[in-house]
Structure 1
Amino acid sequence: MADFGADVDIEAFRGEARAWLEANFPASLKGKAALATGESKSSHPDIVAWRRTLGEKGWSAPTWPKEYGGGGLTAAQARVLGQEMARIGAFHPSMFGMGITMIGPTILDYGTEEQKKKHLPPIIMGEVQWCVGYSEPNAGSDLASLQTRADDAGDSWKINGQKIWTSGAQHSDWCGLLVRTDFSAKKHEGISFLLVDMHQPGIETRPIALISGASPFCETFFTDAVAPKAALLGQINVGWTVGKRLLQHERASQTGGSMGGRGPKPLNEIAKAYLGVDGEGRLADADFRTRLVRHEMDARVHGQTLMRAAAEARGNNSPGNAPSVLKNSATNVAQIRAELTLELMGSQGLGWDGANYSHDEVEAVRSWLWGKAMSIYGGSAEIQNNIISKRILGLPDNTQST
């Protein structure tokens, strides 16, 4: 492939990306992204092959530096790559766990050269799975109250404590772990961030069964678990800053900027099939038509804001506040779409299973229910509103006692 510099010809890159994808993406996987979106990495042979091919190209992490195995692409090129993947029904095969979306970008921000060389290439190749150890039974939204501790043991850290809601911990090889390293400091100032190997006897994971029967979350127990001193990401007792940056990467990944996979069918097409059209080809329900237009406007504004925030953040690894706005915006757009979808389906939007409902109708109901969690995971909507009010609008902290 040609070496595209700063003055990249986007359409030339589009042509080369399209040709490479058509030559390398397995036709057997077209439109089958669901095969690669489980709690752990898929062992399906075609997905294993696609994961290796995309990783060797560096396009599992298209904007990461080439020296660590990334694609070295610009943000504009990465957007084009995502568009071309969606066009042919391709998808990202290494999005299991938190390596690509959270841990990797945070290591790029704060890691030593040794940490980058050790951890980034396996993430890009899809060889390892990462989880994140943040929440505790008594430290959820007030995460800075965490009590899991890491004590200095000479050439290593000795870790004891408990985490909860650790997504995918039972499948993970590594964990990005927030621990308390100074109990005498203010609670935000005595926290550090460690990169911990999950394959050791001092770590136990207990999956939490949900009413659906799935167990995507775990309780995770640390009993004299060990991490070398080199496992410290960033500075000692400055882990709160590192942890916040990771959350921003998480929220950015939840705002509609993920790569590949064909997007949802346009809502106006679904609406026409269920509601019908008038003599001028418009949706027959004028009120629904108005609300659909408002939704589409919100979705487009969100997309434009996402691109603007990405441009403003380029080259700046200090924590910012735009992800909080985008997290709530993405949640609003997704949840309203789900509500409108069920409304236009009428009684067909009430099914859970059975021959009376199509696959799309059943998926619409399940997506609507699952989408309610968007207001909670990655930082609740209320927490994001607090961040926006204090750090963007400059409003006083109303949580302080008088």
Structure 2
Amino acid sequence: MDTATVIARLDEARGADSRTRDRVCDEVAAEFLAAGTPPFIEVRSADLRTDPYLMCADRYWRGRFQEQPTARTALECARWMSDHVNDESWEAVAEQWALGNGFLNRDNLESPDQLAEVMGETGTGAAVERFAFFLTLFHAGKLRANFCFDELHAFLAYSPSSAAAGSLRGEPVFVALQSFAAFGSRTLTAAYASELLEQAWSAADRTRHTVDICLNGVAFAPPFAGQGELLRDYAEEAVEAHPGDHMFHARLAAGLHMCGRHDAALESIDTALALLAASATASLSVLQNQYLTKRDAIQEGRLRAERDAEQLHRWEQQAAANAQLERSLHTSSVRAVEVVAVFTAAIAFAVGSLQVTLTGKLPLSDRLWLLAAQGVGLAVFALLIVGGTWLITRSHHGQDKRTG
């Protein structure tokens, strides 16, 4: 392939519209693939939307990974990057290609022995750390896409490629992957995962992929206290920093859904779908299905919340009616006791007064005093019964008023 012609076509594509630029980059990449020759172009940015040089190289290596989705292809790609990608853009491009192609080729997991064999081919020198870092991200991308949390944790902690990455193990994206593995693990705690999350999130040089992995870990972790609020808060910050990123709007929708804010979640997932449709991502159909599934879940949760609220209202109304009925029955019982006490005292007074009046031999004045004393005694008896009943039931009335 003629170098000058390729450069001229890519330079011309830089000023063209997005559709033309995509077409030119696809054509040039296909020509490199057909010739079996890696691109001889230089990549000086990490902008996959407007830089035709990066776009062309990206399509070429995507095709290579589709043909052979192996760690050996990843090593070839890493070697090419060391010669053709400038230092300022290297890490961002490495994250895009390693994690992205790992996701696209997640069905082709390799064994630890295969990975160790490829690591033996990295050679020596200053570039070995970068080669190992790229290989680690590529395989980690596969494990992450398959939600192999414990396997990912072990791979990042103990694999030869991870160990050979050296100082690059402290990069935010690496820590974010550790956080993702910890959040999904059944053996590691959410507190430990949250510490790693905060470490990666607060890094001054965190990248877009770091943010994505952090949110991904919280979203797919087994349920833990405060999960929805944590995801919502971090996703809101991500959306504010990257308002045009469909993935972050989708994560925000998931967090709002967990918090029971279904209307806001529905708005966020619809925004994610609209932004996704306008993007040129290679995994559009996969992500679209994920977003539509989440949208269905949000709508189902919204309907369930409405039904639950209606049922709760009915229960509250029924509980209030039951409490009112209980108070009515209790009041009726108390009144009945009081009436019986008064009626009993009246009968006793009537019977006693008849005996004194009809059969007594005492003088009239003595009989009147006797009747008065008997009446007062029975009246006191009735008052004691009524008063005792009131004292006994007063505390019960107070509880009814406080709970009612």
Return the TM-score normalized by structure 2. Answer: 0.25
Greater strand percent: which structure?
Answer: 1
Q: Which has the larger radius of gyration?
A: 2
Return the TM-score normalized by structure 1. Answer: 0.25
Answer 1 or 2: higher relative contact order, Cα 8 Å, separation at least 6.
1
Greater helix percent: which structure?
Answer: 2
